[in-house]
């Protein structure tokens, strides 16, 4: 039965599949080349603001691929591929090195980088990160690593070992896209992170009937009860921003406040901050 259906599928999609496989091979070849050449991979930085003073407190490094023919490719379209073809570790160290170098002069700002679940399962991950921080003289206390729940589904506990080693050195951790996975609350119980990033799907519905305000209120309450900070992702409207402030969310991030921008723009934002807020 199933076999017949499979054959049918191939009859319909076969030609199309060949096309897709060819495109994927090309993308794979180009990504390997981009990693060697380096100048096609660029990082944009999205500011994070405190809810209370509406001050910039940090930036999140977000990777983009400037493909010579295809233009700017977003990370969701190539991070998975980098994982599959075994180069995510190289991508991760490139991002960390470049982001720390850019953020080094941005004194007082935190730097968040996203780590893939595969990186977190590498027994050498913590050592590699600390070596990079040491080499660049980047204070571990300024770095926050964002992981998702998928990183924590890891039988031999390697991810947790990495988290423990890095936290002992002063690096902080955030649980990204919180609320989109399963058993979130259960995992929080034993999880050693410093912050929760409330997924933007919760923030989206704010101010509309059937919005998720009760859920977000509960998440923030739970986080604070456990001594964790909260950041809301994906704030696009004033209403969403006000609701999150009212609910006691600590930090805010979203297109309303700023889109991810090149490092030069962050430097400008900091210059302006320096000249307008004098104490």
147 dihedral zone (left: phi>0; alpha: psi -120 to 50; beta): beta
Q: Which is nearer to ligand C2E, 8 or 264 (CB)?
A: 264
Distance CA 259, CA 255 (A): 5
What token pair was written down for 82? 């980098």
Residue 62 contact partner, candidates Mg ion, ligand C2E, none, CB within 5 to 8 A by sort of partner:
ligand C2E
Residue selected from 30, 146, 250, 251 as contacting Mg ion according to rule CB under 5 A: 146
Residue 76 contact partner, candidates ligand C2E, Mg ion, none, CB within 5 to 8 A by sort of partner:
ligand C2E
Does position 149 interact with Mg ion (CB under 5 A)? The reply is no
Distance CA 180, CA 170 (A): 28
Q: Which of residues 232-271 bind Mg ion (CB under 5 A)?
A: 233
Whether the CB-CB separation of 111 and 103 falls below 8 Å is answered with yes
In the complex, least distance from residue 255 CB atom to ligand C2E, rounded to whole angstroms? 3
Q: Which is nearer to ligand C2E, 21 or 238 (CB)?
A: 238
Q: Which is nearer to ligand C2E, 75 or 248 (CB)?
A: 75
In the complex, least distance from residue 6 CB atom to ligand C2E, rounded to whole angstroms? 32
Q: Which is nearer to Mg ion, 198 or 247 (CB)?
A: 198
Binding site for ligand C2E (CB under 6 A): 46, 62-63, 74-76, 79, 95, 114-116, 146, 176-177, 200, 233-236, 253-255, 260
Residue selected from 114, 122, 241, 263 as contacting Mg ion according to rule CB under 5 A: 114
Q: Which is nearer to Mg ion, 30 or 198 (CB)?
A: 198
Q: Which of 238, 244, 174 is nearest to 215 (CA)?
A: 244
Distance CA 147, CA 212 (A): 23
Q: Which of residues 173-202 bind Mg ion (CB under 5 A)?
A: 176-177
In the complex, least distance from residue 193 CB atom to ligand C2E, rounded to whole angstroms? 14
Distance CA 6, CA 151 (A): 33
DSSP 222-238: HHHHTT-EEEE----SH
DSSP 176-187: EEETSSSSHHHH
Q: Which is nearer to ligand C2E, 14 or 97 (CB)?
A: 97
Q: Which of 124, 134, 135 is nearest to 165 (CA)?
A: 124
Distance CA 213, CA 170 (A): 33
In the complex, least distance from residue 147 CB atom to Mg ion, rounded to whole angstroms? 9
Binding site for Mg ion (CB under 5 A): 114, 146, 176-177, 233
């Amino acid at each position: 039965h199933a076999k017949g259906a499979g054959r049918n599928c191939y009859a319909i999609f076969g030609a199309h599949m060949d096309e897709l496989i060819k495109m994927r091979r090309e993308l794979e070849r180009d990504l390997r080349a981009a990693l060697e050449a380096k100048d096609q991979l660029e990082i944009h930085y999205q500011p994070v603001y405190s809810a209370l003073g509406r001050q910039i407190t940090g930036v999140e490094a977000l990777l983009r691929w400037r493909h010579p023919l295809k233009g700017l490719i977003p990370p969701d379209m190539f991070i998975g591929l980098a994982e599959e073809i075994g180069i995510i570790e190289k991508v991760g160290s490139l991002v960390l090195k470049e982001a720390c170098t850019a953020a080094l002069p941005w004194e007082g700002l935190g730097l968040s980088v996203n780590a893939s679940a595969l990186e977190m399962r590498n027994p050498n991950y913590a050592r590699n990160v600390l070596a990079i921080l040491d080499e660049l003289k980047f204070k571990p206390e300024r770095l926050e690593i964002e992981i998702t729940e998928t990183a924590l589904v890891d039988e031999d506990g390697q991810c947790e070992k990495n988290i423990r080693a890095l936290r002992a050195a002063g690096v902080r951790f955030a649980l990204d896209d919180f609320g989109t996975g399963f058993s979130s609350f259960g995992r929080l119980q034993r999880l050693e992170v410093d912050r929760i990033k409330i997924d933007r799907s919760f923030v989206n519905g704010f101010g509309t009937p059937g919005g998720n305000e009760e859920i977000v209120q509960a998440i923030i309450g739970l986080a604070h009860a456990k001594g964790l900070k909260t950041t809301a992702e994906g704030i696009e409207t004033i209403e969403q921003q006000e609701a999150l402030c009212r609910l006691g969310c600590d930090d805010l991030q979203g297109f309303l406040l700023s889109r991810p921008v090149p490092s030069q723009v962050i430097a400008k934002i900091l210059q302006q901050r320096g000249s307008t807020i004098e104490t």
